[in-house]
Amino acid sequence: MIFYFSLFISLFFIGNSLSDERLIFHDKPKSLSQNTIIEDWPRFLGPHNDGTSRENNLLKSWGKDGPKLVWELKRGDTYAAPTIANGKLFSFDLADGHERLECRDPESGKLIWDFKYDVKYRDRFGYSNGPRASPVLDKDILILAGVTAQLRAIEIGTGKELWHIDLQKEYGHELGFFGYGPAPFVWKDLVLVNVGGAEDSKEKGVCVAAFDRKTGKEIWNYKDSWGASYSSPVVKKIRGKDVLLVFAGGESRPAHGGLLALDPSSGKLHDRFSWRAKSYESVNASVPIVIDKDKVFISECYGQGGVLLKFNEDLKASVIWKERNFGMHWMTPLVIDDHIYGFAGRNKPDVQFRCVNLNDGSIVWKDDMRYQFELNGRNLTLSFFRGSLLRCNDRVFGLGEDGVFAEFNISPKGVKILSQSQLFVAEQSWALPVVHRGLLYISQHTKGFVNDTKPRLMCFDFREKVSSE
């Protein structure tokens, strides 16, 4: 009986994959252990908005070829990571002149529904023309922010559009260096957006706005000369109060921007801290991190570096320390006990994995994270470069931007690689890995160097073997 059931399941998966020419199904994953902790992944930084998850019973080690591949999906242009909740996975990309949202089954990759609309965009620096922001899930709706600053609410069950706001038309948003980038944040019944409206528009420089999640009606706005950055806003508890943190700063001459601390219910400004490189071609992209409920770390990699702020009872910020050599390009560093870890630096050759003491900002150690890799008979020296860090139940994983995936043991004493595999060799893998129900989702954003693999989303079996299997 068990044999026939397993055969049926395998045929089900394979049969459904054949109906979608972009989907390749390889093998079904292992069963979940009964004591497994699972969490949805509703935003690109996960359930806690900081690149962490409580998921456990994950694969303890894997070979050089990586975990077992369950399915892979060919994608168009995108830097968006998938988001997953309520048994549905959402992929957002651009193909054939359309931004495309797809709702799929997380375990099989099977297409449930899709939604698309016309988009005309060409990146001025030659990067991907697709969306930068991952879909944002909240109960029965999904919020999209496309590369041309089109804000949409989609009904999760049907794929029906509920409302649409053109931020360029309505607020005079001027697309930045790389198009529109910050993901919205849903708090209670509000969609919080770093609008970045022009000062000479009819709305006269709306920097941040809140919209009703059901109707799209504007509830409040905050006006500021700081534009839309590539850092996504987040609501966190500071001094026991909900505070909206927006690391703003769009394209401007002279360059300006910094951290806004706002009341998410009204848009009232608590504090405004300037933190932006003087260089014109610079961006604020890393998401603010709240530490110990009264401190916030922000960083950029164009000369300013990182700064740790402390907020008083009136939610006014003061500087604890600054460190110009601990600035993140886009990645969100991890805080573990009284240290912070991240890939600091602007360009590939200059990036190092660094550990900083939270008390004084001193750099405890730095590591180039170099390793040897054989490619077509040649031994190459590669690195994690501007990698991403994911923490699951006190285990730390890293994805290098050229396709290397590993588990790290990190401490103030240094970093040790426990397992490592080159999943592919391609540039610009900048999306944070996603873990959901013991499955690992990795995004390859550009064509592969080795075997001409296309941009794709891969699902790996990352479940630890159940003892009864």
Please tell me the predicted confidence (pLDDT) of residue 37.
Answer: 95
Range of the domain at 167: 133-229+231-329
Tokens of 412: 């103030």
Please tell me the predicted confidence (pLDDT) of residue 468.
Answer: 55
In a domain, 386, yes or no: no
| Highest mean predicted confidence (pLDDT) among 67-71, 173-177, 248-252 | 67-71
Provide, rounded to the nearest whole percent, the portion of the chain with pLDDT above 70. Answer: 94
Cα–Cα dist 230/446, whole Å: 20
Q: What is the CA radius of gyration of the chain?
A: 22
Query: What's the average model confidence in pLDDT over 282-290?
Result: 96
Q: Is the pLDDT of residue 345 over 50?
A: yes
Cα–Cα dist 353/427, whole Å: 19
Q: Is the pLDDT of residue 15 over 80?
A: no
Which one has a higher pLDDT value, 191 or 3?
191
Please tell me the predicted confidence (pLDDT) of residue 203.
Answer: 67
Please tell me the predicted confidence (pLDDT) of residue 381.
Answer: 84
Contact yes or no for 135/88 (Cβ under 8 A): no
Please tell me the predicted confidence (pLDDT) of residue 200.
Answer: 66
- Quick one: how far is CA 438 from the chain centroid? 19
Can you say whether residue 143 is alpha, beta or left, with left for phi > 0 and alpha for psi between -120 and 50 degrees?
beta
Can you say whether residue 240 is alpha, beta or left, with left for phi > 0 and alpha for psi between -120 and 50 degrees?
left
Q: 15-22: which pairs have CB atoms within 8 A and are 24 or more residues apart? A: 16/108, 16/110, 17/71, 17/108, 17/109, 17/110, 19/111, 20/109, 20/110, 20/111, 22/73, 22/74, 22/75
Residue with tokens 């709702």: 103
In a domain, 163, yes or no: yes
Q: Could you tell me which residues come within 8 angstroms of residue 34 by beta carbon, excluding any fewer than 6 positions away? A: none
Please tell me the predicted confidence (pLDDT) of residue 201.
Answer: 65
Q: Tally the domains of the chain.
A: 1
- Quick one: how far is CA 322 from the chain centroid? 25
Q: Is the pLDDT of residue 18 over 80?
A: no
In a domain, 11, yes or no: no
Q: Is the pLDDT of residue 384 over 60?
A: yes
Cα–Cα dist 30/469, whole Å: 9
Which one has a higher pLDDT value, 110 or 469?
110
Q: Is the pLDDT of residue 17 over 50?
A: no
Cα–Cα dist 402/174, whole Å: 31
Query: What's the average model confidence in pLDDT over 407-435?
Result: 95
Cα–Cα dist 390/397, whole Å: 5
Please tell me the predicted confidence (pLDDT) of residue 11.
Answer: 40
Please tell me the predicted confidence (pLDDT) of residue 379.
Answer: 85
Please tell me the predicted confidence (pLDDT) of residue 122.
Answer: 94
Name the band, by pLDDT with cuts 50, 70 and 90, for residue 5. Answer: very low
Cα–Cα dist 397/387, whole Å: 10
Name the band, by pLDDT with cuts 50, 70 and 90, for residue 198. Answer: confident
Name the band, by pLDDT with cuts 50, 70 and 90, for residue 231. Answer: very high
In a domain, 432, yes or no: no
Query: What's the average model confidence in pLDDT over 270-296?
Result: 95
Please tell me the predicted confidence (pLDDT) of residue 467.
Answer: 64
Q: Could you tell me which residues come within 8 angstroms of residue 40 by beta carbon, excluding any fewer than 6 positions away? A: 47, 84, 85, 86, 137, 436
Please tell me the predicted confidence (pLDDT) of residue 349.
Answer: 84
pLDDT digits (tens, 9 = 90+) for 64-112: 899 999 999 999 999 999 999 999 999 999 999 999 999 999 999 999 9
Neighbours of 416 (CB within 10 A): 10
Name the band, by pLDDT with cuts 50, 70 and 90, for residue 12. Answer: very low
* Pairing mode, strands 83-85 and 88-95: antiparallel
Tokens of 139: 């109960």
CATH number of the domain enclosing 324: 2.130.10.10
In a domain, 146, yes or no: yes
Contact yes or no for 351/385 (Cβ under 8 A): yes
Which one has a higher pLDDT value, 341 or 34?
341
Which one has a higher pLDDT value, 183 or 2?
183
In a domain, 309, yes or no: yes
Query: Residue 93 is inside which H or E element, if any?
Result: strand 88-95
Average pLDDT for the chain? 93
In a domain, 141, yes or no: yes
First vs last Cα of the chain: how many Å apart? 16
In a domain, 272, yes or no: yes
Predicted TM-score (pTM) of this structure: 0.93
Give the residue from 50, 29, 53 showing the smallest Cα distance to 39.
53
